[in-house]
Structure 1
């Protein structure tokens, strides 16, 4: 009898491997989610930046403070020096001056899925940075984390294993028989003014099996349930961002049905671009099949975002040129470049937009921020074009 060169790995050994991996994750989260602490947004803006964000002059802000329409910013207790304006302060200015960019009630809420069935393409990174870009602009944003890995949930300051009850606070209860009638039960405020989140945790992984079992009996219920849930909360938001799991499952199909716009992150390398091509083919086939079960779904826009782009790699440049040639109308002009700044922030469950102090004064940070802002501006313009109430302003800006 031949003996294998390597011993077989038993279930017990797999269990031990899983436990060791969990220990590493716990230690990382202990570092970020220290007991008794709560993630806070430390961003402060000087009067010039705040004025630019609010669409008014420095003088207009000073005058509004002088006549009592706006409160003065917080001051240092010892020096009486102004500490700068918070994002909440800036939004108060926008409200006072009538410059909040909210959609009109008759405009559709934009439900944007950042979708690709492959993992590691920058999906959650894109969701988190877009959400915060829109919040900085004054939009009302909801992030729905549909991925059981819960990276987006953790980035927004919630420990998925401790802070989230899978039976009460994720999407899971909404998909059950006799579940809640609306998604309000799952909405949670975040430390970012203007951003709410429906969090996720590992319990959503179990939901996939339950949904698959019910799919044969109730395809319309499963596929349209998320869309119907979003309709119960969309009046509170301008933009709803969906972060689906990196796989073709029932939750991913529900996301495709719920969204009215798609953004597809695609790194410009052979393997990831090949996977994106397969994703587009599967999207076509899946959409046709979904249409058979409940009506055709159309989107305000479908765009491909070149993500994790590295200008120093000739292969990346060559594939990006090919992507531009093959999808001339479908690519975002802006790209999400591979950046150590994003990696370093992500390692601390943070984003580039919430960094402060000396970290923001480096050339690396400024370049990365410029890339992120360019992606945000382009997606923002696409969204505003979907809102008739913004068309007059867009024409005045020469953008429509």
Structure 2
């Protein structure tokens, strides 16, 4: 006798209902204009700090017509500066923080084979931090869930086809990654998007890689082919030990491993290290040589009100030592509320919870990303003198 659970009908029903809800959520994100825009602006004091010049220098440049003046609000006060306006200041004053052409671009992967550790959140917030501070960023979404693609302004269900992901390049159907790069609504951030269709690339790639592990270097070669236009490339791989994740490990020259302070996550990260070591040693025996300019563990989703979490965080500091990022990413309702809207805290023009919660969240996000920025700049010889003068080398 056929049972209620026989066949695929229940799964198809559940998929349909879930897709309807997800579609409604994404429509809400992109409404009413059908595309995301960066609504956040910066005050003149914030713009001056980001541009590396005084407020007076900005006002004089506006008076001389070298910079456009911001508009006025209804109350007669000056409106804020867009990120495009801040970048115009940097161009005028020569304060772009770009690497020199002789410096190697950094390819950073936020990697962990366990889901729910905050990997995509790290990737999106870090990409936006670097863009706010004037760097040129390429984000590569390698996860078929496509959360990062949605955050950066594309509806993967409607706007991204299989041929617009990185899949055609990995499968040898394209010979350069330029076809897949899209501008985003964030000045300074380009994206190679993902979509649900991308999951099938894993199986197709497996058939090609069998007996030819050098194909796992395909992603690295593709990124090297487009890297000249960027300072940092950020990879968001899937949360599983598969060929796409391994390709990301091979392509990256820096790793950040997010780990929440929970026993199960600590244990899974230990297994992650073992699997990565075994995988990379196997690849090296076949002539594939990944190497990293830095490797760090990042404490994510820390709730200091929970004694168990603070105890595990203390343990992680003891165990990992200098390999653990000093600044943790704390558990925050501000991040949760932004994520529910497929957004980040950095793009919020107003607090989603309270001003104080928003301020604290920005403080620790900036703390983590400043630490990451220093690690990145240390890989660029042209930045070493400035870092030494600042006491950061």
TM range (shorter): over 0.9
Q: 1:135-150 maps to which residues of 2 (within 5 A)?
A: 135-150=131-146
CA contact (8 A) 2:140 2:193 kept: yes
Distance 2:322 2:89 in 1: 38
How far apart are the structure 2 equivalents of 1:329 and 1:253? 25
Q: Please, what TM-score do these two structures have when normalized by structure 2?
A: 0.96
Task: Report the secondary structure of 1:265's partner residue.
Answer: strand
Aligned to 2:17: 20
**Offset of 1:30 from its aligned partner?**
2.1
- Quick one: which of 289, 295, 303 aligns to 2:296? 303
- Who is 2:105 aligned against? 109
From 28, 37, 62, the equivalent of 1:65 is 62
- Which of 315, 322, 328 is the aligned partner of 1:335? 328
CA contact (8 A) 1:172 1:203 kept: no
CA distance in 1, matches of 2:96, 2:331: 32
- Structure 1 residues 96 and 361, CA gap change in structure 2 (3 angstroms): farther
Report the Cα distance in structure 1 between the residues aligned to 2:118 and 2:257, rounded to whole angstroms. Answer: 10
For residue 83 of structure 2, what is the aligned residue in structure 1? 87
User: Cα 1:203–1:68, aligned 2, differ >3 Å: closer, same or farther?
Assistant: same
Distance 1:48 1:360, change over 3 A: farther
Structure 1 unaligned segments of length 5 or more: list them: none
Q: Secondary structure at the match of 1:305?
A: strand
Aligned position for 1:314: 307
- Taking the aligned partners of 2:354 and 2:65, their CA distance within structure 1 comes to 34
C-alpha contact (below 8 Å) 2:338/2:352 kept by paired residues: no
Partner SS for 1:162: helix
Corresponding residue of 1:192: 186
Q: CA deviation at 1:176?
A: 2.2
Count of aligned pairs between the two proteins: 393
Shift of 1:196: 0.4
2:52 counterpart of 1:51: no
Structure 1 stretches of 4+ with a deviation exceeding 6 A read none
Q: Distance in 2 between matches of 1:24 and 1:357?
A: 26
Q: State the partner residue of 1:133.
A: 129
Change (3 A) 1:54 1:360: farther
Deviation at 1:57, TM superposition (A): 0.6
Q: Which moved more, 1:58-67 or 1:338-347?
A: 58-67
Residue 68 of structure 2 aligns to a residue in which SS?
Answer: coil
What SS does structure 1 have at the residue aligned with 2:162?
coil
Structure 1: distance between partners of 2:61 and 2:21 = 52
Segment of structure 1 superposing worse, 61-70 or 208-217: 61-70
> Secondary structure, in 3 states, of the residue corresponding to 1:303?
strand
The 2-side partners of 1:309 and 1:9 are apart by 42
Which of 211, 217, 220 aligns to 2:214? It is 220
Matched, 1:346 2:339: yes
Find the aligned partners of 1:91 and 1:394 in 2 and give their Cα distance. 22
C-alpha distance after superposition, 1:319-354 (max 9, x if no partner):
111111111121000001111110000000100001
Structure 1 pair 63/36, CA: closer, same or farther in 2 (3 Å)?
Answer: closer
Give the drift of 1:361.
6.0
**Partner Cα separation in structure 2 for residue 325 and residue 395 of structure 1:** 28
Long gaps (5+) in structure 2: none
Distance 1:35 1:228, change over 3 A: same
Q: Distance in 2 between matches of 1:381 and 1:144?
A: 22
Contact 2:337-2:352 within 8 A present in 1 as well: no
1:84 shift after superposition: 2.0
